[in-house]
Amino acid sequence: MNSLDGGRRGSMVETRKRRGWTGKVGPRCSVDVILFDFGGVLADEGFVGGLAAIAEKNGIDVEAFVILGHELVHETGFVTGRSDEATYWAALRRRAGIRGSDEALRGEILTRFRLRPWMMKIVREVRKNGTRAGILSDQTLWLDELNEEYGFFRCFDDVFNSYHMGKSKMDPSHFGDVVQALQVKPEEVLFVDDNEGHIDRARRQGWNTIRYDNKINFMDQIKKYCPFIKASIE
């Protein structure tokens, strides 16, 4: 259990020992830890896609609804575990007039989080060569539920979920909490995210960063830190 926030939240920070790391070391990355965002990096961005689908089915402006959905997941405290899913959907219904049960609405989102096999290959390769790999995600209990279905937590040394940590990547101090939990220096971390704001806050804390926008650019960037990564990864 991690000491940052004992109990339910701290229990979600996993360690290499509990992940069964073998200790086999080959060519290493130039950083000790690589942290990956979930939606938009490790997996397709299900939250945005799901919100867009909900907007279309309700005949409302897609762009405005996606922005509102992002705002309310923070305003309600759902993303940091300070409120529950029902509160989030109730707020969206009240503000946007959408229809549908909680179960139907969540289904639109969860079914669109699809793991990217080529990205998971990269995770396996960096871990095989002695670099820790983790998830750093502004997520909710949905991340736990997706893991229950697909079992991907076992592929990582550490999992930092805002829902359990009580802070999101909107809070600069969150990055300090994470390096404290990892027991590394900021410059020993590489962070991959598709959100420019999150990337900027991490960079200001001394982290190495890659802003994910597409596979080709990402592969060019990650090889600067881990040159052994195979170009054949698809």
Tell me the per-residue pLDDT of 149-202, one tens digit each, with 9 for 90 and over.
Answer: 999 999 999 999 999 999 999 999 999 999 999 999 999 999 999 999 999 999
Q: Rounded distance, CA 234 to CA 232, Å?
A: 6
Q: Rounded distance, CA 52 to CA 105, Å?
A: 11
Please give the chain's pLDDT, 234 residues, in tens: 233 333 334 434 544 443 444 455 557 899 999 999 999 999 999 999 999 999 999 999 999 999 999 999 999 999 999 999 999 999 999 999 999 999 999 999 999 999 999 999 999 999 999 999 999 999 999 999 999 999 999 999 999 999 999 999 999 999 999 999 999 999 999 999 999 999 999 999 999 999 999 999 999 999 999 999 986 565
Q: Rounded distance, CA 95 to CA 91, Å?
A: 6
Q: Rounded distance, CA 220 to CA 114, Å?
A: 23
Which pLDDT does position 20 carry in this prediction? 42
| Residues 216/171/141/83 CA torsion (nearest 10 deg) | -150
Angle CA 142–147–152, to nearest 5: 140
Which pLDDT does position 234 carry in this prediction? 59
Could you tell me if 137 and 160 are in contact, meaning their C-beta atoms sit under 8 angstroms apart? yes
Q: Rounded distance, CA 134 to CA 157, Å?
A: 6
Please report, for residues 115, 118, 143, the alpha-carbon distance to residue 151 in angstroms, rounded to integers and kept in the order given.
11, 16, 11
Q: What is the pLDDT of residues 192-209, one digit of tens each?
A: 999 999 999 999 999 999
Q: What is the DSSP letter of 161?
A: E
> Which residue from 141, 100, 165, 126 is spatially nearest to 16, judged by alpha carbons?
126
Stated pTM of the model: 0.88
Residue identified by tokens 């971390």 is: 189
**Main-chain phi, psi angles of 189, to 5 degrees:** -110, 140
CATH class of the domain at 10-44+115-225: alpha beta
